[in-house]
Each structure stands twice: as C-alpha cells, then as structure tokens.
Amino acid sequence: MSDPNQRIVITGVGLTSPNGNSLNEFRANLLAGKSGVSKFETRYIGQVLAGVCHFDPLKYQKKKDVRRGTRAGSIATYCANEAVQNSGLNWAEVHKDRVGVYIGITEHGNVETENEIFEISKFGYDTSVWSHHHNPRTVANNPAGEVTLSLQITGPHLCLGAACAAGNAGFIHGVQMLRLGEVDLAICGGVSESIHTFGIFASFKSQGALASNEIPEKASRPFDLDRNGIVVAEGGGLVTLERLPSALARGAKIYGEIVGYAMNSDATDFVLPDPTRQAQCIRLALSRAGISADQIDIVSSHATATVQGDIEESLALREVFGDCPNVAINNTKSFIGHAMGAAGALELLGNVPAFDDHFAHATINLDRPDPRCELPQLVANQPRKMERVDYILNNSFGMLGINSVVIVKRFSGV
C-alpha cells in the first residue's frame, strides 16, 4: 500500500480469557495445552461447563462502578485499560476526542434483564423493585460506553452486533475508521458476558448443541469425532490500532499489521453455515491483502465443536487451502470454549505471538479426528514449530450467516 497512513498496525493488547488475563499468560497456556474450561453453576439449569474468566475488575474500576455497570462493561474496561498500558502511549497527552472505541458483541442486555425479572419474582413481580440502572446497562453500546467513562474518551464509541463474527468486526471497523481519518487511535475488538445468561445454555441445550463431558477440560473438542457441542465462554480481547507513521514516530512495539479483511453473508439459514460463502469471504480477504492462499502460514479456524458447523468450515478450508500443505490450521476454542463476541478477537490475539516464537499452537482434545472434517494441515494436540510466520488468517463466523475474516502480517519494517 503506497500511502503509509493507510497502513494500520496493532500497538497494544489487552485481554482476559478463561486461561489467561494477559497476552503472555494466554499464549503460554495455549502452547502448554492448558484448558480454561471448568464447571459452572447457572440459574435454573444447575451445573454446566463454561469458560470463566478470573480477572480483577477492581484493577481499573471502583466497587460502585462494578455494581452500577455490567459484566461486559467490566471486561471491556479491563481489556481497554490493559491495551492502553501495553501500547506505551502517554495517555495524558492523547487527544481523547480523536480516539474511537469499537467493540464487537454477540448480544447485550440479556444478563441484566434476566437478573431483574428474577429479582422482581421474589416480590410478586412488583415492578417498583426494578433497578433504575437497567436502561443504561442494557443499551447495546454499554460495553464501549463504559470504556469511554473509564478512560475519559470523548471520541465516537459503539458496539457492533455481529453474532460470533463480532470480534473480527470490531477490528475491521477500527481499521476502516483510521483509514477514513475519522480517528487517530482505535480501541477495538470484542467482548462477551454470555455465561451469565441462563438463556444461552438453555437454548443450546434444547438445540442439542451444548457440550457435556465428565472431564471439563475435555469438553471442547472441535473437529473430533466425539464432539457433542459448544462450551460457552466469556472473555474479551481489545487492541490499540494506529496508523503506521504514528506508531513509528513514537517508537511503539508493533505486534502486526492488519493487511486484509472481509465480511459477507450466507443468506441461507438462521444457524446452518454455507461453506461456499465462507470460502468466498476468505478469498476476498486474501485479495484485499494482495496475497495468495499459499502465503498464509497459520489459519485460526472458527470451528465451535458442533457436528455440522465443523464439517461445513472444513469444506471451506479445503476449498481454499487444499493445495497449501505448509499452512498450519489450529483452533483456540478447544482451550477456552466459545467466547461468542470475543471469540474472533481472542483467537487472533492468541496466534499473533507466533510472529516471534514461530509456533502454531495446537488444537487440543483432537483424539479421534472426524473423517468428515479431514484437514491434513490441522495442528493436533502439540504445537507445531514453523520455519517462519509471516501471515495469520483468522476465521470468525456467526448465526444468521455472517462471516468475517481478518489477515495480519508480521511487521518487518517500512
């Protein structure tokens, strides 16, 4: 790209996942094969398996803020503050009206609505008991808005509802706003508080898509013949994005450059994916990055461990990467479950350190590969040492047929 101001780089990372509360911890546990799935009690259903985060919300919030706000807001606030600190920015000197906050979410408001209905049920459904904090808690922009309150950001903020493609959508929107000159710094990615709504567990259970296993760490098993559904997870992954000249001028650490992206729609079904449209989305991202499929070193797959979903993505991956024997295909959900709106963000960020350590982390729990998901390039159970890693491609797909792909390149200089 000839105009350096159109080149957008990642300069800070903040995250919380079920198996790590920083990029270093997350990456170490991915390489060590350490799962973050555990038993979890949820209202009306009882014990389920989930990916639960254990970050400290009081690191950047007061007790009053946590009490008044939402779990998604606390996750977003933690991740945003961590990303800003990690970026090395002198925050006091940053023009806050030139900062944009763009956070992908799967849904928002279910948790608070369920909680309030449960509370008024104790009082004969007397609505006078209903919390006056309910409206600001449930508006769709809440997680991004809580970030602006924490960091005193006066630029634009919004949440992007993109189902389980939302993490990638947050990155994509940040890139676009920087390229348009709307902002000078974007804090973007995705968050999820999904495990705190019993409805998501009940719906997946009635659909026959909720994972079960006597050993929690073995429950999330994408591409495996014995997979039996989704492990729901919470989490968040946010980054600071800047134009390349800005990052270079302040000597920032550059984690990678976002060089390609794409989003499209299946327009076929509420939940069943279309591999043809997924493959088209991947090819569009490759075209925008100006590279061919065989230049990709790591493909971070979306696979959620549902029977049909894994099969359909495998078809798309074979269509695009079937003649690319050197690509490494892995899956992060096998470690942490499906973090919904945060999934794409966490899955990309967990792979980004491969630019430096040259390892493709494994897909764990892949004991009996499903022949219908035949992918010879799958990294199974042990990390794969790579000769070099220059390009990482991140798939993230969602209900109602929304597909997203982001490609990050190792930064090797101007």
Catalytic residue among 173, 196, 338, 361: 338
Catalytic residue among 53, 79, 159, 164: 164
Catalytic residue among 159, 302, 361, 373: 302
- Our answer to whether residue 338 is catalytic in this structure is yes
The backbone region for 330, taken as left when phi is positive above 0, alpha when psi lies in -120 to 50, beta otherwise, is beta
79 CB-near residues (< 8 Å, 6+ apart): 14, 15, 16, 189, 191, 236, 237, 238
DSSP state, residue 229: -
Structure tokens at 347: 């899955």
Structure tokens at 9: 């780089």
Please, which contacts does 27-34 make with residues 24 or more away whose CB atoms are closer than 8 Å? 27/350, 27/353, 27/357, 27/361, 29/335, 30/332, 30/335, 30/350, 30/361, 30/362, 31/357, 31/359, 31/361, 31/383, 33/335, 33/362, 33/364, 33/381, 33/382, 34/335
User: 213 with 219: CB under 8 angstroms?
Assistant: yes
Structure tokens at 244: 């390349």
User: 6 with 260: CB under 8 angstroms?
Assistant: no
b/e sequence 226-246, b meaning 16+ C-beta within 10 Å:
ebbbbbbbbbbbbbbbbbbeb
- Our answer to whether residue 173 is catalytic in this structure is no
- Our answer to whether residue 164 is catalytic in this structure is yes
58 CB-near residues (< 8 Å, 6+ apart): 66
- Radius of gyration, CA atoms only, the chain: 20
Residues classed as catalytic: 164, 302, 338
